[in-house]
Amino acid sequence: MERITASLLHLERELTAHAQGAKQVFLRNSDTPTNVTQVAYGIFTKADYCELHTHPTMEECFFFLKGEGIYVVDDQTIPLHHGVFVRIPAGVSHRLEATGDDPLEYVYFGVATS
């Protein structure tokens, strides 16, 4: 049976793909026959960031739970705090940075577009 549930209590913490912050992965592409690339819970502490980059064939969505930060998406700077949702279309440059004293916590998912 395919994975249908996961708990943060039982998921290992690992570095993000950008070697900043940490994540716990609920679902990987290998766990599902869909175009979902990953669903994860992430934490960036103060001064953690990911460099400006793009994903030519993947759309990403982030929902922020706690903390403060900024997301630069193309030419827009988005302040991050509890309750903010950010969608990053495939091929659009973006950069994430934690700026507050408390950890920036979020839920993330990616979907392959081709």
Q: What are the boundaries of each domain within the chain?
A: 12-112
The pLDDT confidence band at residue 1, using thresholds 50, 70 and 90, is: low
Mean pLDDT on 25-33: 94
Pairing of strands 36-44, 104-112: antiparallel
List of E strands, the chain: 14-15, 22-28, 36-44, 58-66, 69-73, 76-80, 85-88, 94-98, 104-112
Tell me what pLDDT residue 24 has: 97
Pairing of strands 69-73, 58-66: unpaired
Tell me what pLDDT residue 18 has: 83
Provide the percentage of residues in the chain whose pLDDT is more than 90: 91
Question: Which fold is adopted by the domain 12-112?
Answer: Jelly Rolls (2.60.120)
Instruction: Kindly report whether the global pTM for this prediction surpasses the value 0.85.
Output: yes
pLDDT at 4 over 90: no
**Residues 9, 15, 17, CA angle at the centre, nearest 5°?**
125
pLDDT at 113 over 80: yes
Mean pLDDT on 90-94: 98
